[in-house]
Structure 1
Amino acid sequence: MDFEKLSITERKIIVGIDFGTTYSGVAWAETQRPDRRLAITTWPVSKTILEGEYSDKVPTKLRYKGKKGVEWGFSIPVTAPPDQIVEWFKLDLDPSLQSLGDTVASTGARGGRNVEKLVTDYMSALGDHLMYTIREKLGESVVKTTPLEFVVTVPAIWSDLAKEKTKKACQEAAGLSATKSPIHLISEPEAAAIYALHGLDPHGLKIGDSFVICDAGGGTVDLISYTITKLKPILEVQEATPGTGALCGSTFLNMRFSKFLKQKLGRQPDFDDEVLSEAMEKFEKTVKRQYTMSTPPDETYTIPVGGLANNRELGISRGRYSLKASDLQVIFEPVVQEVIKLVQDQISSSAVPIRAVLLVGGFGASNYLKERLRNAIDNKIKIMQPPNAWLAVVHGAVMKGLANSSPDHLTMVKVQNRKARKHYGTEWRTRYDERLHSELSDKRHWCGLDGCWKVYTMEWFIKKGDAVSENEPYFTSFVWTGQVSLGRIRKVKMDIYADRSSRSAPISKDDDVSLLCHLEADISHIPEGNLRRRRGADGNWYYDLSCKIEAVYLSASTQYTLIYDDQRYSTVTAEYV
């Protein structure tokens, strides 16, 4: 099948959305022109001026204005009072993550807000602008007749619940839900790897080479190591070690700068939220990006502090504050140290020698971070920053979507295997065996169906560190029973558990084994006569259904299917907890 000859019904528009803590990006491509990926770079500054601001990404910010609706991104005026601006709400999607101590304390106060509504409102605005942009580029009729498919990126370290919340918020977003398009998730570092590797000079790479992708964004820093398994016809890689990460992105630099400025200038008359807001803008857009290790400690950066009286001792002159490079180092260092430790741990936990570290993401483009890493790790390991590091994730998401829609025709990077980050399994009753289950003897119970003692144990279908492939589903077989006298079985239920600790998978459920999701399959449409029965040892009749659950582990989500009597039932709903 040639791309140029794709019929109208086979064409698709693939959209990648990099929903970030501080900035978000959108890119898209048509399946018949897969090599032409377009990132949205013009953004609304008001409801009437839809292409007023040029930037690779748009701020992840909202401002609610009562009956006047919602302002977002660049349409929020710089003069807007900071207490009206809602930002960093992405971090609220996964409250289970531990963060950098006191630096994140300020976000803790936001816990009461409805994060799902915030994400939905933001994605609605983003989706509306996306549809406007595509209509401008392709025309109304093409957009009406061409189906869209969305690939949304999520941090790899997020819980399954946080990923599911993101997907649901996108499905409910007005701009996206109107198209009724499929929404897929991909982990941010995997998307970044697909893009960064695609752009690397292949002559320097050999089969067996391994490298770390460090995706340092606004809120999260995610790391994954890959080993090259094939160079031709396309580059194929597999994960070398389970990914790691933490909350230590560049948002935390902003928090530390804000705290620093309040401590330095907070007691000055006329220091208020507006002064702080302008200073933060300068730090975010200029200072943070210009600072390098080679900057002399006594060099200063000019920060606007309009309205503050001259104060030579504090360094305020004519509405400007002189920020010393030595102060910047104090602001940067704890956050950078955290990233360095993550990279060092990823390198040391890899079973194979690491040849390079690829830095991507907004924070990954920082010269200071690159230089500090260069000094902290073995000098045989290259530190690389691919071009367009800030857009690596969103371009990788589009490339992944294109590969999924026509796998045979795209020359790009393929991730063959991933490493499981946790043990995954379920809990079933099994025949009590004194040799295996002696420590569970007080938990055994009598089974009337089989006429023996039984005990609940864990059945792990994936162990932490196992190679997991999208192309090879995992099956777990089980027997669903129930007394016929209690009524026909309408639903088959299963609980999936996970254990992220580094120990070997335990025999039975304990405090470290947490519930991941409830699966429920509706079998009420299966005729009664097709439900197998057998008489139990106690003389009662029981339903006795031999079933399988098929699980396919994708980059950032899992698909479940029930198999009974060789029939596939994709009516399985997964409710994450």
Structure 2
Amino acid sequence: MDFEKLTINERKIIVGIDFGTTYSGVAWAETQRPDRRVAITSWPISQTAREGESSDKVPTKLRYPSSGDLYTRSNVEWGFTIPITAPTDQVIEWFKLDLDPSLQSMGSSVSNVAARGGRNVDQLVTDYITALGEHLTYTLREKLGEGVVKSTPLEFIVTVPAIWSDLAKDKTKQACQRATSALGTKTPIHLISEPEAAAIYALHGLDPHGLKIGDSFVICDAGGGTVDLISYTITNLKPILEVQEATPGTGALCGSTFLNMRFAKFLKAKLGKEEGFDDEVLAEAMEKFEKTIKRQYALNAPPNETYTVPVGGLANNRELGISRGRYALKGSDLQSIFEPVVAEVIKLVKEQISASNVPIRAVLLVGGFGASNYLKERLRAAVPSKIQIMQPPNAWLAVVQGAVMKGLAQSAPDSLTMVKVQNRKARKHYGTEWRTRYDEKLHGHLRAKRHWCGLDGCWKVYTMEWFIKRGDPVSENQPYVTSFVWTGPVSAGRIRKIKMDVYADRTPREAPIARDDNVNLLVHVEADVSHIPENQLGRRKGNDGELYYELNCKIEAVYLSASTQYTLLFNNQRYNSVTAEYV
């Protein structure tokens, strides 16, 4: 799963995919021309027109043919191919949030269940990313020619929220694998956390003359559904900018999707009883809010300023503020829509600043919501004045551009000066559970759980062995190795599989001695050893006279930006036949 080091004749096209809650972006670059990163900005507007809508990103929306029509991949509408006038009960949006039920996301309440026709979130994500992939293939053929595209392998870097569970990240990766195989290719897919991708782009764009080793920055990646925060300290400036995480990342569900929901609720309460108000009117008003009002609204706007919302077909009503098919939205109403969501983001930023334990020089706002003028001004007023609030140019594309930069740096490391993340901070304790000799002093509170071990002729008890503690520095270049002994009675038949459960504890407490309700199963790791000759499996006679297998093994875990890679080490050999199933 790690990136191979390339010679330059092994050309590759690196593709970044920012699969977002409300909008998604795609960018790409060729390894031999790494300074030319191209974002796709032209999108299909119908099943036949391959391009037409110009936008940095495309809506993360799907619409399936009605129940009477035959469903095929080609008649699923997505992005801009869904007409704005399509009834809202047929359009599926915000389904990305359903990938991580552990966040108690808005779930089915926002992601239209009726329009799904029984499809689960994995199917929706696969269909959407397949559509993105088809358009990517079309675009690459147009720009580079059929021959180049056929002969050059692709590599995908897909971004995921850092606050997601490992299961949600793994589900995203699997959906991408299904989507690329639907395109007829076997493409390597790597995950990177959204704030890390944004940081690579944003820090790369800073004025190098003003930077010093030891400077620290908070990156606030405010997107549609999630807001992720992370702090970095500069550890090296030359030959490349190297940074390390200053504190474990934080985040929450408080992206700009929640502004849209609050606006829709406000409009329904205000105008919902008026004759002619229907889904179509609401959809056009939402479009204006999404594309214009939300992005223009600023804190210093005059309090009596009004914003025009189209409400075609509604009768003039001076009292309500409707005139000639337009509704005048007051600035004070807009502030009441914005404020609770913005307050939540500010709270997260302030917590991140105080948790960093290092002086923060600036907060870099990226992501679609990060481009909001109102959010910037409110943040400016909420944090100490010595901390700069910065919005890098093209903040909406920061995540997808950073993903491409990460892929290029890994595939062709000598080709381009990039930002390198040396160390990350573990967001939780990671460990495994093993049997250990019972010791009354250490394990007295576990006395009821002890059991007799025939092999060693003593009492044993299950305890946790933590190989990473929350806040520990974690490096991609530094694997974590856990040694253990796998035993089993020979009478039960030869050992075919070695299994290991990895647990995680995300509470801020000290890592506990034994597993309790806050220690959750993270992943089953299983290694197939059935091909190892029987005579290489160690044996030992137990205290009870029985013969036992005894295998001295190690599991090596490498923690990458948004995924983990496991390898079994046995008899000085590496076995990559390890399957990891997330729960």
Q: Distance in 1 between matches of 2:308 and 2:392?
A: 30
Which of 532, 540, 557 matches 1:534?
540
Runs of 4+ aligned structure 1 residues displaced above 6 Å come to none
Match of 1:305 in 2: 311
| CA–CA separation in structure 2 for the residues paired with 1:404 and 1:311 | 61
Q: What amino acid does structure 1 have at the position aligned with 2:29?
A: A
Q: What is residue 265 of structure 1 aligned with on the other side?
A: 271
Aligned residue number for residue 106 of structure 1: 109
1:392-411 matched pairs, under 5 angstroms:
392-411=398-417
| Alignment of structure 1 residues 384-395 onto 2, 5 Å | 384-395=390-401
SS at match of 1:213: strand
Hey, what does 1:82 align to over in structure 2?
88
Q: Which runs of 5+ in 2 are unaligned?
A: none
Counterpart AA for 1:106: S
Asked if 1:374 is matched to 2:380, the reply is yes
The 5-angstrom pairing of residues 423-438 of structure 1 reads: 423-438=429-444
CA distance in 1, matches of 2:96, 2:302: 36
Pairing partner for 1:419 from 422, 425, 444: 425
Q: Is residue 92–residue 112 contact of structure 2 (8 Å, CA) maintained in 1?
A: no
Q: AA paired with 2:265? A: K
User: How big is each residue's C-alpha offset from its partner over 1:427-454, in whole Å with a ceiling of 9 and x where there is no partner?
Assistant: 0000111111110011110100011110
2:414 aligned counterpart, secondary structure: helix
Q: CA deviation at 1:109?
A: 6.9
Q: Structure 1: how far apart are the matches of 2:109 and 2:282?
A: 15
Alpha-carbon shift at residue 108 of structure 1 (Å): 7.2
Q: Hey, what's the Cα distance between the residues in 2 that align with 1:400 and 1:357?
A: 22
1:48: Cα distance to partner?
A: 1.7
**What is the distance in 2 between the residues matched to 1:142 and 1:195?**
27
Q: CA deviation at 1:106?
A: 3.4
**Hey, what does 1:32 align to over in structure 2?**
32
Secondary structure of 1:518 counterpart: strand
AA in 2 matched with 1:36:
R
CA contact (8 A) 1:151 1:186 kept: yes
Contact map agreement 1:364 1:389 (CA 8 A) in 2: yes
- Normalising by structure 2, report the TM-score: 0.96
Q: Deviations over 1:226-282 (max 9, x none)?
A: 000000000000000000000000000000000000000111111111110000000
**CA separation of 1:551 and 1:152: change in aligned 2, threshold 3 A:** same
Distance 1:376 1:76 in 2: 40
Shift of 1:185: 0.2
Contact 1:360–1:392 under 8 Å retained in 2: yes
SS at match of 1:472: coil
3-state SS, counterpart of residue 498 of structure 1? strand
**SS of the residue 1:548 aligns to:** strand
Residue among 287, 298, 301 paired with 2:293: 287
**Equivalent residue for 1:449?**
455
8 A contact 1:127–1:175 mirrored in 2:
no
Decide whether the 8 Å contact of 2:93 with 2:111 is kept in 1: no
- 3-state SS in 1 of match to 2:70: helix
Q: Does 1:520 align with 2:526?
A: yes
Counterpart residue identity of residue 70, structure 2: K
Residue in 2 aligned with 1:67?
Answer: 70
Change (3 A) 1:113 1:313: farther
Deviates more, 1:428-437 or 1:404-413: 404-413
**Do 2:45 and 2:52's aligned partners in 1 also have CA atoms closer than 8 Å?**
yes
Give the conservation status (yes or no) of the 8 Å contact 2:100–2:164: yes
Amino acid at match of 2:469: K
Higher alpha-carbon deviation: 138-147 or 539-548: 138-147
Partner Cα separation in structure 2 for residue 356 and residue 138 of structure 1 = 40
Aligned partners of 1:426 and 1:495 also within 8 Å? yes
* Residue of structure 2 equivalent to 1:352: 358
449-458 vs 46-55, greater mean Cα deviation: 46-55
In structure 2, the partner of 1:199 is: 205
- 8 Å CA contact 2:34, 2:415 repeated in 1: no
One-letter amino acid of the counterpart of residue 59, structure 1: P
Match of 2:56 in 1: 56
3-state DSSP class of the match of 2:249? strand
SS at match of 2:102: coil
- Residues 95/542 of structure 1: CA separation in 2 closer, same or farther (3 Å cut): same
Q: SS in structure 1 opposite 2:203?
A: helix
- SS of the equivalent of 1:328 reads helix
Structure-2 residue corresponding to 1:180: 186
1:408, CA displacement in angstroms? Answer: 3.2
User: Matches of 1:530 and 1:104 in 2, distance apart?
Assistant: 51
One-letter amino acid matched to 1:297: P
Q: Is the 8 A contact 1:124 1:175 kept in 2?
A: no
Amino acid at match of 2:540: R
> Could you tell me which residue of structure 2 aligns to residue 42 of structure 1?
42
CA contact (8 A) 1:198 1:413 kept: yes
Whole-Å separation in 2 of the counterparts to 1:379 and 1:70: 50
Cα separation, partners in 2 of 1:426 and 1:52, compared to 1, 3 Å? same
- 2:328 maps to 1:325: no
Q: Tell me the equivalent position of 1:564.
A: 570
Q: Which whole-Å CA distance do the structure 1 matches of 2:316 and 2:285 have between them? A: 16
Amino acid at match of 2:109: S
Counterparts of 1:190 and 1:143, CA distance in 2: 29
How far did residue 410 of structure 1 move? 2.4
Distance 1:222 1:137 in 2: 34
1:5–1:89 distance in 2 versus 1, CA, 3 Å: closer
Query: Any conservation in 2 of the 1:126–1:175 contact (CA below 8 Å)?
Result: no
Q: Structure 1 pair 401/120, CA: closer, same or farther in 2 (3 Å)?
A: same
Give the superposition deviation at 1:178: 1.9
Q: Is the 8 A contact 1:209 1:227 kept in 2?
A: yes
Letter in 2 for 1:45: I
Whole-angstrom CA distance in 1 between matches of 2:556 and 2:181: 33
CA RMSD of aligned residues (A): 1.5
Equivalent in 486, 491, 502 of residue 497 of structure 2: 491
Distance apart, 1:177 and its partner CA: 5.1
Q: 1:164 aligns with which of 163, 167, 170?
A: 170
Q: Kindly indicate whether the alpha-carbon contact (under 8 Å) linking 2:98 and 2:107 is maintained by their aligned counterparts in 1.
A: no
Question: Does residue 530 of structure 2 align to residue 506 of structure 1?
Answer: no
Match of 2:8 in 1: 6
Equivalent runs, 1:114-263 vs 2, <5 Å: 114-174=120-180, 178-263=184-269
1: CA distance, partners of 2:426 / 2:124? 31
User: Is contact 2:93–2:112 with CA below 8 Å preserved after alignment?
Assistant: no
Task: Name the counterpart of 2:15.
Answer: 15
Determine if contact 1:422/1:465 at 8 Å carries over to the other structure: yes
- The alpha carbon displacement at 1:461 in A equals 0.3
Change (3 A) 1:345 1:250: same
Change (3 A) 1:303 1:419: same
Give the distance between the partners of 1:11 and 1:23, measured in 2 at CA: 30
Q: In structure 1, what is the Cα distance between the partners aligned to 2:571 and 2:40?
A: 49
Q: Distance in 2 between matches of 1:281 and 1:270?
A: 18
- What is the CA–CA distance in structure 2 between the aligned matches of 1:175 and 1:49, rounded to whole Å? 24
CA contact (8 A) 1:298 1:324 kept: yes
Counterpart CA distance in 2 for 1:555 and 1:33 is: 25
| Mapped partners of 1:367, 1:327: distance in 2 | 17
* Alpha-carbon displacement from aligned partner over 1:468-518 (angstroms, at most 9, x marks no partner): 000000000110000000000000000000000000000000000000010
